[in-house]
Structure 1
Amino acid sequence: MAEAMLGDHEQYSCSICLELLRDPVTIPCGHSYCMSCINECWNTNDQKGIYRCPQCRHTFNSKPPLNKSTMLAEIMEKLRSTESAQSLAGPGEIACDFCSGEMIKAVKSCLECRASYCETHVQPHYNVPALRKHKLVKAAVIPVCPKHDKLLEVYCRTDQKCVCMHCLLDDHKGHDTVPSTIERKEKQIKLTHSQTKVKQTMQAKEKELQKMKMDITSHSDSAKKAVENSKKVFSELVKLIEKKSIEVIEEIKAQEKADLDHGTKLRKKLEGEITELKKREGVLDDLLQTEDNIQFLQNYETVSSTSGSDESQSFPFQPYCSFEDVTKLICDLTGRLETTCTQEISKTMNKVSDLSTKRPPFDIVIGDRVRVKPSVVTPIHKWGSVTYSSVGVVKKIQGGLLTVDFPEQKNWTGLISEMDHVTGAGSDLSTKNGPFDISVGDRVRVKPSIITPKHNWGRNVTHKSVGVVKDIKDDDSVVVDFPGHANWKGILSEMELVTNDNDEIGPSNLDPSIKIGDKVRVKPSVVTPTHKWGAVSHKSIGVVQKIQGDSLTVDFPEQKNWTGIVSEMEIVASAGSGSSRLESVINIGDQVRVKPSVVTPTHKWGAVTHKSIGVVQKIQDESLIVDFPEHKKWTGLVSEMELVASADLDIKSEDVIVDFPKHKSWKGILSEMELVNSDDDFSGSS
């Protein structure tokens, strides 16, 4: 009998606590409740002396006697016994801590006892007065402090995490902390507000979808009517215009298909957004239904960050061809067909074609995010401040031209055929990758508008520091390697791409304070100077004659009064400049290593690292060949290398250690050795 009653589980549940009846009592109106539940309900009633049934709202002038229903209690006991026997804890489920033998599935967890109970063992918490005050929640793993093994009861707003009472006197002393219940209430209000916005957005999208379906149907009917009218008109011309009739009909159908395909794309896109909003609503609803404050708070940030945008982009169906115009033109032909048949039919077909050409090619429409195609060397209307990495939003389309707002340049004009769509989650302006499509390997720095990053500056990181993105997390955090701080953690929204090759990574070993009279040259990293090369090249060395703002005037042997930008130049130091000697004085036989500011050498690392120290074997123009212990005949650029002074090497007094082809780690005296400066005198690898 109990097994048969399992299917009617709900009718044996208390409408107050929603659990199976415990100590069931039936009040005069016929409804049954747990004795403790109805007593508590009536005791907390604001209107003293008036007692109502929570279900039918029947009013009793005096408190009805509550006598235990013996028969219903026996049914409940059998039902619990049968249910417990069938409810074994499965993988990933919480088992009762008090059941011996088989692991019975727990239904409740007590935050005070820090234990989980099945339906049978949880009864004392309902019946024993001292245990009734304990906080019961749906069976779950009770989170505790890993350091103090205490219940998590407090939320630290400073570190944004749940902590125990002992943590307040330890790691979180002096932090902004509040009880978890208060923090949940505040965050629940925000989450409820977000859920309301999602519902409103979803409702608006559903209305838009209905209107779009009607528009598409109407447009399709218009096309069908245009076809019917065309058939009727052309049927009267039989031989003369039979061929032209077929061509016009095919043109209309082709345009109808193009418009319907376009409408279908928009409809699917809108349906996809509605589906996504429904998923988001479900996630928000699940979190709002979470009984455990700690689980709620721990999942809040993840769910709230994906709760959707406040703004919604509309996708109205706007066909590019009106078939009513075509019908009118066809009717006008009837009076002039005998003399101008061929001419007028051509005009009709041209009209359909002209209307279809108003559709932007490549399906790029206003509001789309685009960038210049990699195959375009130079856009027709020039680059301006835009680069291949720039992603902007289409503001206007006219013919084959479009106007785009890029972060680097507003109202940029280009050809539609030169642009690519930017699609996918990785390129979404509203997602974790931000407005500049930051990805692993990109060079970034903290935005000037950020006074203090969320995770603080760290050591040696400033607004001028430029680092390389090492990792991007799902929570929109980013790990960056700066020259003075490896594995620095920040937030994507706080960072900006460094797209200018002239922005050095970290502090440069070149003196940025260029003064009049200094000897300078164009940096190797500058492909084309802002004011063009003229007769100057990367090898040219000149003297600064004038500096005004960020511009300077240099006299080169090849060109006098050459104008350049300070940030594009580097100082050429003399050999006597001490420890700051630059690549211009690197000679064959010198000890060198890759500069710390070079993230990846032009010719790749191979087995070499920043710590590797090798000997220069050959120099040709801007390239050099170095023998490192880890990598022989390694090729690099002179501008990427720096000299290693004797103080930096593992050489004591006048001792020297040399790798000969037939004798590794050979030890000698410096005074006994001489440099090999000629390639002809050098045989083998050192």
Structure 2
Amino acid sequence: MAEAILGDQDQYSCSICLDLLKDPVTIPCGHSYCMSCINECWSTNDQEGIYRCPQCRQTFDSKPPLNRSTVLAEIMEKLRSTGLSESAQCLAGPGEIACDFCSGERIKAVKSCLECRASYCEIHVQPHYNVPALKKHKLVKAAVIPVCPKHDKLLEVYCRTDHKCVCMHCLLDDHKGHDTVPSTTERNEKQIKLTQSQTKVKKTVQAKEQELQMMKIDIASHSDSAKKAVENSKKMFSELVKLIEKKSNEVIEEIKAQEKADLDQGTKLQKKLEEDITELKKRDRVLDDLLQADDIQFLQNYKSVSSSSGSDELRSFSFQPHCSFEDVRKLISELTGKLETTCTQEISKTIHKVSDLSAKGPSFDIVVGDSVRVKPSVVTPIHKWGSVTYLSVGVVKKIQGDLLTVDFPEQKNWTGAVSEMERAGSDLSTKNGLFDMSVGDRVRVKPSITTPKHNWGRNVTHKSVGVLKDIKDDGSVVVDFPGHANWKGLLAEMELVTNNDEIGPSSLDSNIKIGDTVRVKPSVVTPTHKWGAVTHKSIGVVRKIQDDSLTVDFSEQKNWTGIVSEMEVVASAGSGSSCLDSVIKIGDQVRVKPSVVTPTHKWGAVTHKSIGVVQKIHDESLIVDFPEHKQWTGLVSEMELVTGADLVDIKVGDRVRVKSSIITPKHNWGGYVTHKSVGVVKDIKSEDVIVDFPYHKSWKGILSEMELVIGSDADILGSS
């Protein structure tokens, strides 16, 4: 019985002090605590009038009555008394705490007293349970008692300012005026958060275990299905072979039957011909006898013999079969060729479809956040195309069973089957869906590409439409854009622009409409229809839009013609210092845009990661003070505002995730990383960051694509 009680000793420990229950009380939710511990825990909530269970977090509107649990108290006494004899002779091993009061052999300590600053075995700790003065001491599980290295005092206070434990003497010197609380108070608050995090982790573990069980069932079911498919395939192909053999036998029987019919006819003709020959030979002998006779006999018999010669009455016979077996051979040869071609093609299609259903796109390979498209082998999706095509690339928003919801640029909340989709990664073939790109096609960078592998260049954007000039064997392409000739990119990053979507403000620059105030983009060196009297500083009003062209009235030139893709909207033309970019003003924190490869006025000591303060703005130029470079000169159009969230410094050990604004990370998602995944930063190299996610270790990304997960958000690590 004693061993059973000792075996369950953890059940009788107070979750607040982690010691065996003293004066145990049980609150309405069923959890038990030391009376002093729960009273101290709830004393901080007396003013709020809200009382929670430290373990299950159940809330009570009024403070529940705390009555001593007699049964638990008796169990505690038995547990302590039983533990004396069973643990008294237990010697302290390497790394274990020894009793400070045992002489001779080092007996293992079971408790440490924070007041006495000593450790006790089960025998020597008994006075702390029986002596009234010692009952008030704080007992903890045997451990090395931490003390202040400076004052040699017990660490009883937590400094929130410096995030460390200190003694009471430290409050008078090094930590004077700091935000400090009793260590128990801080522990209770952090324990609540940790308990919540542990609860989430346990729920996640349970969910993952259920998921594992379901996966095992699915794998077993899939294996059984494969075996049945193999057996069924063997059966069907065997039946097909038998069918071919049966039909082959039928053809052979038909050939034999036709042969017999033709031979029977030939035999009859042959017999008739033989009879005619016999008759003719007989006639020949009669004629021969007559020719050998004397004159009188010849003349007397001539008339009768000559009148019955019958040579003209004989019919001509020839064997003409109804069936030509040479034609039959040709027919069989043609049939064999057709069967071979059909079988090869259809079986190849079947193998390809089986490959699509298994190797190319298993359902578990697609997760929420992935970029996907419809497989080229799918003729018509189960839930129809809608506005989606083979070229469409969208982001998975939801997966439920075999169905998934995808946001395409052409259609939001599109529903499809997981088995019909494939991930749209960097391994796309030279054929974009079923549309083969060739030199001369109009193309643009896919909306799903955040930054092309070879960067944007100064004049290329998602809206730029160019002509495909060359396709290399390594999958790279050369494109002539209006503002950037011989731009280099990857074929997998491009999409075809059809006649319906290559022109018109709705597709190229949907935010420009008649009446808007616009200007030529700073990235455009020379407009397609030339400058005229217009400059980068000119601001005019749109009067007409037709296809990709627009007419603008500038103060310098009326009815100026330009291209929609070369223009940008100016929010406020009269804002003084910021007519080029009204959102940036003096005093703002800014950095160079990620899309700018090299600033117009060069980098100096500045990088994409540098954050500085705007000191001066003049027309389209501005002066910025960076920590690395004071009085740095740049263009307003090349800069972007840095918000408070962007200013957070990411360090090794921080918990991070991919920003929700990133559609596809530069180095791709990996197998199990999504927007919800939370990982720990393992290493930072320049702009690259290495992150350990729960299901993808050493994942590589870009620092600018990541965001810190702070506060309660960090607790979702287990649910990612």
Instruction: Please indicate, yes or no, whether the TM-score normalized by the shorter chain is above 0.5.
Output: no
Tell me the TM-score normalized by structure 2: 0.33
Greater radius of gyration (CA): 2
